[in-house]
């Protein structure tokens, strides 16, 4: 059972790191602010969810799991809001979305 | 493994510190500084100093970052600094200065390595039972060196007074919002900010927490509310603001002096009510710190609103 939990936890952690990595590559390589936001906000939310789930499996306590869930929710809400603020500010400043 | 992590952390901190000074634009410098604060908080966690980590993350990175951004908003847009080629004798001079500055650092390092034992932790824990409070950090802050903490509050109060004396503060300006999501988020999160500040205050009695992190979280909540369009009266010259800002130092000083009337020495808490007094001081100080930081943010936003 322990082996199963550790294995699942490790898999979730690796998945989360892969998503963080792809988001970072997107941030560095994508052409404009909107596509970068797209890469960053989506992958970060997913990656954080995976990593929190992995840590929750390791925590072994309901209270810690709930705290991790709270952190994940707060970061999700804050991330979505700040992304929309950055995109809104960019549009208001006249930044045109990138077109091929 | 832990050593690799610590080494990476130290290198990242050095890199961000360099970026904070030498970034091409001030905006980049401010962002580097805020990231630097977060990494410092992480370093404090690695050193098992959760209290300082909390204070650093909330004050050093969060509130200071908001103040720096507000100050940045008042500056005219700056051109990107071109990288100039430095002359060889200037480089030589910089190198010489670096070597000169390295000497005191080496001396400090030598002194630290010479220290016996690991700080005053053992002494604090040994006399914790006399402090009538559970958390060793709070015992140090509010009991063993209470007068230092009172003076810190007075320093913050003087900073607010000095900022106010520089000119009148306008009521909070209605910010320009590109999206309606920020007010919605603030409505959702403001109670969470209040709850967290209260939790940190309560927790300061027996664990990491206390007035300074709680005040910073409170101020962060207020700043977020102002940024999303909440209206508040201008702080300077407003009696309510003055009372709230003075509450902490005043309560502290009154307790310190009040015990004289009961026949104790200055700052000697009567054992029976010591815990209660310290919690009272902590709550008053936390509220005051929150409002003082918010007042500083108001002042930083001031000129910005009159220009636009």
Nearest to A46 by CA among A70, A64, A72, A82: A72
Rounded to two decimals, the ipTM of the complex is 0.79
| Within-domain flag for A99 | no
Of the two residues B234 and B304, the one the predictor is more confident about is B234
Nearest in space to B51 (alpha carbons), one of B130, B126, B135: B135
Residue that wins the pLDDT comparison between B90 and B31: B31
Q: Do the beta carbons of residue B71 and residue B33 sit within 8 Å?
A: no
Nearest to B185 among A77, A88, A89 (CB): A77
- Predicted TM-score (pTM) of the model is 0.82
The sign of the CA dihedral B238, B240, B243, B244 is: negative
Domain count, chain A: 1
Decide: helix, strand or coil at residue B167: coil
Q: What is the domain extent for residue A71?
A: 2-92
Summarize pLDDT for B222-257 with one digit per residue, the tens: 988 888 877 777 777 788 888 999 999 999 999 988
Q: Does residue A42 lie within any of the structural domains?
A: yes
Q: Average pLDDT, whole number, for chain A? A: 90
**Does A97 reside within a domain?**
no
Judging contacts by C-beta atoms under 8 Å, the chain B residues touching residue A89 are: 178
User: Backbone phi, then psi, for A94, in 5-degree steps?
Assistant: 90, 20
pLDDT at B304: 46
Residue A98 lies in a domain: no
Helix (H, G, I), strand (E, B) or coil at A60: coil
Q: Is A79 contained in some domain?
A: yes
Among all residues of chain B, which has the CA nearest to that of A74? B189
Q: Is the pLDDT of residue B269 over 90?
A: no
* Domain-located, residue A100: no
Rounded Cα–Cα distance for residues B102 and B120 (Å): 28
For residue B154, the model assigns a pLDDT of 94
Asked if A84 and B189 come within 8 Å (Cβ–Cβ), the reply is: no
Task: Compute the count of residue pairs across chains A and B with CB atoms less than 8 Å apart.
Answer: 26
Q: How far is CA B77 from CA B49, B73, B80, B275, B287, in A?
A: 40, 9, 10, 52, 36
Would you say residue A23 lies in a domain? yes
Q: How far is CA B299 from the centre of its chain?
A: 17
pLDDT at B129: 78
| Closest residue to A85, CB basis, from B179, B188, B192 | B179
Q: State the distance between the two ends of chain B, measured CA to CA, in whole angstroms.
A: 52
Interface probe, candidates A27, A82, A85, A92, chain B, greatest B C-beta count within 10 A: A85
Residue B12 pLDDT grade (very low, low, confident, very high; cuts 50, 70, 90): very high
**CA pair distance A11, A9, nearest whole angstrom:** 5
Is residue A44 included in any domain, yes or no? yes
Report CB contact under 8 Å: A81, B185: yes
């Amino acid at each position: 059972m322990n082996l199963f939990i550790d294995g699942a936890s490790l898999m979730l952690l690796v998945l989360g790191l892969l998503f963080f990595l792809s988001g970072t590559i997107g941030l560095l390589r994508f052409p404009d602010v909107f596509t970068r936001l797209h890469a960053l906000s989506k992958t970060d939310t997913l990656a954080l969810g995976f990593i929190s789930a992995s840590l929750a499996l390791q925590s072994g306590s309901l209270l810690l799991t709930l705290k991790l869930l709270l952190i994940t929710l707060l970061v999700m809400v804050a991330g979505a809001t700040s992304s929309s603020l950055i995109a809104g500010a960019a549009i208001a400043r006249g930044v045109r979305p990138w077109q091929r | 493994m832990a050593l690799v992590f610590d080494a990476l952390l130290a290198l990242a901190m050095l890199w961000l510190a360099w970026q904070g000074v030498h970034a091409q634009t001030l905006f980049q410098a401010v962002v580097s500084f805020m990231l630097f604060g977060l990494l410092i908080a992480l370093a404090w966690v690695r050193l098992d100093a959760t209290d300082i980590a909390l204070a650093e993350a909330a004050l050093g990175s969060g509130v200071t970052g908001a103040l720096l951004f507000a100050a940045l908003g008042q500056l005219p847009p700056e051109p990107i600094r071109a990288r100039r080629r430095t002359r060889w004798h200037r480089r030589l001079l910089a190198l010489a200065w670096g070597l000169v500055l390295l000497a005191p650092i080496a001396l400090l390092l030598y002194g630290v390595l010479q220290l016996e034992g690991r700080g005053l932790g053992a002494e604090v824990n040994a006399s914790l039972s006399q402090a009538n409070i559970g958390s060793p950090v709070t015992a140090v802050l509010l009991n063993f060196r209470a007068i230092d903490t009172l003076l810190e509050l007075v320093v913050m109060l003087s900073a607010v007074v000095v900022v106010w004396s520089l000119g009148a503060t306008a009521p909070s300006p209605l910010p320009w919002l590109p999206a309606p999501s920020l007010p919605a988020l603030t409505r959702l999160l403001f109670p969470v900010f209040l709850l967290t500040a209260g939790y940190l205050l309560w927790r300061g009695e027996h664990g990491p927490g206390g007035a300074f992190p709680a005040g910073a979280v409170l101020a962060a909540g207020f700043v977020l509310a102002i940024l999303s369009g909440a209206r508040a009266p201008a702080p300077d010259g407003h009696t309510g603001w003055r009372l709230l800002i003075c509450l902490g130092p005043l309560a502290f000083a009154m307790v310190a002096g009040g015990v004289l009337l009961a026949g104790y020495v200055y700052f000697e808490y009567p054992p029976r009510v010591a815990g209660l007094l310290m919690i009272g001081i902590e709550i008053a100080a936390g509220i005051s710190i929150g409002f003082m930081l918010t007042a500083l943010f108001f002042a930083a936003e001031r000129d910005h609103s009159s220009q636009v």
